[in-house]
Amino acid sequence: MPLPQSLRMTRQRRLILDELRRLKTHPTADEIFQVVKRRMPRISLATIYRNLDILSQAGVIQKLETAGLQRRFDGDISQHPHVRCVKCGRVDDMTGDARPPRIERMPRAEGYAIHGYRLEFLGTCPQCGKGGGNIQ
Protein backbone atom coordinates (compact mmCIF):
# COMPACT_ATOMS: atom_id res chain seq x y z
CA MET A 1 0.00 0.00 0.00
CA PRO A 2 1.64 3.22 -1.21
CA LEU A 3 1.74 6.42 0.80
CA PRO A 4 -1.18 8.76 0.22
CA GLN A 5 -0.55 12.09 -1.48
CA SER A 6 -0.63 13.96 1.75
CA LEU A 7 -0.18 12.88 5.33
CA ARG A 8 -2.36 14.25 8.08
CA MET A 9 -1.11 14.78 11.56
CA THR A 10 -3.94 13.27 13.53
CA ARG A 11 -4.01 13.13 17.32
CA GLN A 12 -3.27 9.42 17.14
CA ARG A 13 -0.30 9.81 14.82
CA ARG A 14 1.11 12.65 16.86
CA LEU A 15 0.84 10.64 20.05
CA ILE A 16 2.39 7.51 18.56
CA LEU A 17 5.27 9.52 17.17
CA ASP A 18 5.83 11.40 20.44
CA GLU A 19 5.83 8.25 22.53
CA LEU A 20 8.10 6.40 20.14
CA ARG A 21 10.58 9.26 20.23
CA ARG A 22 10.38 9.48 23.98
CA LEU A 23 10.97 5.75 24.52
CA LYS A 24 14.55 4.62 24.16
CA THR A 25 13.58 0.96 24.24
CA HIS A 26 12.96 0.20 20.54
CA PRO A 27 9.46 -0.97 21.38
CA THR A 28 7.30 -3.47 19.56
CA ALA A 29 3.94 -2.39 18.18
CA ASP A 30 2.22 -3.84 21.19
CA GLU A 31 4.49 -2.06 23.64
CA ILE A 32 3.70 1.24 21.94
CA PHE A 33 0.03 0.31 22.09
CA GLN A 34 0.17 -0.20 25.85
CA VAL A 35 1.84 3.15 26.41
CA VAL A 36 -0.33 5.14 24.03
CA LYS A 37 -3.51 3.58 25.39
CA ARG A 38 -2.88 5.22 28.73
CA ARG A 39 -3.41 8.61 27.14
CA MET A 40 -5.94 7.56 24.51
CA PRO A 41 -7.82 4.54 25.81
CA ARG A 42 -9.97 3.89 22.73
CA ILE A 43 -7.09 3.75 20.26
CA SER A 44 -6.83 0.49 18.36
CA LEU A 45 -3.83 -1.71 17.77
CA ALA A 46 -4.55 -1.55 14.04
CA THR A 47 -4.03 2.21 14.20
CA ILE A 48 -0.65 1.62 15.79
CA TYR A 49 0.40 -0.77 13.06
CA ARG A 50 -0.93 1.45 10.29
CA ASN A 51 0.86 4.51 11.62
CA LEU A 52 4.13 2.75 12.28
CA ASP A 53 4.02 1.54 8.72
CA ILE A 54 3.18 4.93 7.25
CA LEU A 55 5.71 6.77 9.40
CA SER A 56 8.50 4.36 8.51
CA GLN A 57 7.63 4.52 4.83
CA ALA A 58 7.75 8.29 5.07
CA GLY A 59 11.19 8.01 6.67
CA VAL A 60 10.10 9.65 9.91
CA ILE A 61 10.85 6.58 12.02
CA GLN A 62 12.77 3.33 11.52
CA LYS A 63 11.38 -0.16 11.26
CA LEU A 64 14.26 -2.15 12.68
CA GLU A 65 15.33 -5.24 10.79
CA THR A 66 16.45 -7.09 13.83
CA ALA A 67 16.15 -10.86 13.94
CA GLY A 68 13.14 -12.36 15.58
CA LEU A 69 9.47 -12.85 14.98
CA GLN A 70 8.43 -9.48 16.31
CA ARG A 71 9.14 -6.15 14.72
CA ARG A 72 10.66 -3.29 16.67
CA PHE A 73 10.64 0.40 15.94
CA ASP A 74 12.97 3.32 16.55
CA GLY A 75 12.10 7.00 16.65
CA ASP A 76 15.73 7.82 15.91
CA ILE A 77 16.31 7.50 12.18
CA SER A 78 20.07 7.87 12.28
CA GLN A 79 21.94 4.71 11.41
CA HIS A 80 23.43 3.41 14.60
CA PRO A 81 24.27 -0.05 15.90
CA HIS A 82 22.00 -2.03 18.21
CA VAL A 83 22.51 -4.84 20.69
CA ARG A 84 19.92 -7.52 21.11
CA CYS A 85 19.76 -9.48 24.34
CA VAL A 86 19.80 -13.12 23.33
CA LYS A 87 17.85 -14.05 26.44
CA CYS A 88 14.97 -11.61 26.56
CA GLY A 89 14.95 -10.04 23.10
CA ARG A 90 15.38 -6.50 24.38
CA VAL A 91 17.14 -4.12 21.99
CA ASP A 92 19.34 -1.20 23.01
CA ASP A 93 21.54 1.35 21.32
CA MET A 94 25.26 0.88 21.33
CA THR A 95 27.06 3.80 22.85
CA GLY A 96 30.56 5.10 22.50
CA ASP A 97 32.14 4.87 19.09
CA ALA A 98 29.25 4.13 16.83
CA ARG A 99 31.33 3.91 13.71
CA PRO A 100 30.42 0.89 11.62
CA PRO A 101 33.05 -1.80 11.18
CA ARG A 102 35.17 -1.72 8.09
CA ILE A 103 34.65 -4.79 6.02
CA GLU A 104 37.83 -5.90 4.36
CA ARG A 105 37.59 -8.49 1.63
CA MET A 106 33.95 -8.11 0.82
CA PRO A 107 32.52 -11.54 0.16
CA ARG A 108 30.45 -12.10 -2.95
CA ALA A 109 27.40 -14.00 -3.99
CA GLU A 110 26.85 -15.29 -7.49
CA GLY A 111 24.68 -12.94 -9.49
CA TYR A 112 23.79 -10.70 -6.58
CA ALA A 113 24.22 -6.96 -6.47
CA ILE A 114 25.21 -6.24 -2.90
CA HIS A 115 23.87 -2.96 -1.55
CA GLY A 116 25.04 -3.10 2.02
CA TYR A 117 24.85 -5.06 5.17
CA ARG A 118 23.08 -5.20 8.46
CA LEU A 119 25.00 -5.62 11.67
CA GLU A 120 23.45 -6.44 14.99
CA PHE A 121 25.37 -7.09 18.16
CA LEU A 122 24.36 -9.93 20.45
CA GLY A 123 24.74 -10.00 24.18
CA THR A 124 23.17 -10.31 27.56
CA CYS A 125 21.38 -7.30 28.99
CA PRO A 126 21.91 -6.06 32.54
CA GLN A 127 18.74 -7.74 33.84
CA CYS A 128 19.42 -11.09 32.24
CA GLY A 129 23.13 -11.00 33.09
CA LYS A 130 22.52 -11.31 36.77
CA GLY A 131 19.99 -13.85 37.98
CA GLY A 132 20.47 -16.12 35.01
CA GLY A 133 17.90 -14.34 32.90
CA ASN A 134 14.36 -15.31 32.11
CA ILE A 135 13.87 -16.43 28.59
CA GLN A 136 10.99 -14.36 27.31
Partner DNA sequence: TTAGTTGCAAACATTTTGCCGAACG
Partner DNA sequence: CGTTCGGCAAAATGTTTGCAACTAA
Interface residue list for a second copy (CB under 8 A): 65-69, 71, 81, 83, 85-86, 92-99, 101-105, 107-126, 129
Nearer to DNA, 9 or 103 (CB): 9
d(CA 37, CA 58): 24
Count other Cβ atoms within 10 Å, centred on residue 29. 18
With CB under 5 to 8 Å by kind, the binding choice for 87 among a second copy, DNA, none is: none
Least separation in angstroms between CB 82 and a second copy: 8
Least separation in angstroms between CB 25 and a second copy: 13
d(CA 30, CA 111): 39
Beta-bridge partner residues of 83: 92, 121
d(CA 80, CA 100): 8
Least separation in angstroms between CB 66 and DNA: 11
